[in-house]
Amino acid sequence: MTARFLATVAGFLACTASLQTQVGGNAGFGQNGGRAKAEQSEHSLRVLAKDDQPPSPTSTFLEASVLMNVKADEFS
């Protein structure tokens, strides 16, 4: 019975550090203006400036992230 109790206490103590960091991150995000700054940053990534808009009403832009698997020319 004592070994099970000690194992349970040790388990709770091991989780304490990760729980404190999660609470700290949540508190930082919830500070005054924290959420608004994050939302503004995301919004600015998705709004097109006048110069970035398509040249005609029927055209569109396509953005793609591509990963290419190319053999190396040399190794350093």
List Cβ neighbours of 38 (8 Å cut-off, separation of 6 or more).
Answer: 29
Residue 43, CA atoms < 13 Å, CB-side half-sphere: 6
Angle between helical axes of 2-29 and 34-46 (0-180°, round to 10): 60
Residue 45, CA atoms < 13 Å, CB-side half-sphere: 7
Q: State the DSSP code for 52.
A: G
- The reported pTM is 0.29
Which pLDDT tens digit goes with each residue over 18-60? 556 666 666 656 566 667 777 888 888 778 777 777 778 788 7
Q: What is the number of residues in the chain?
A: 76
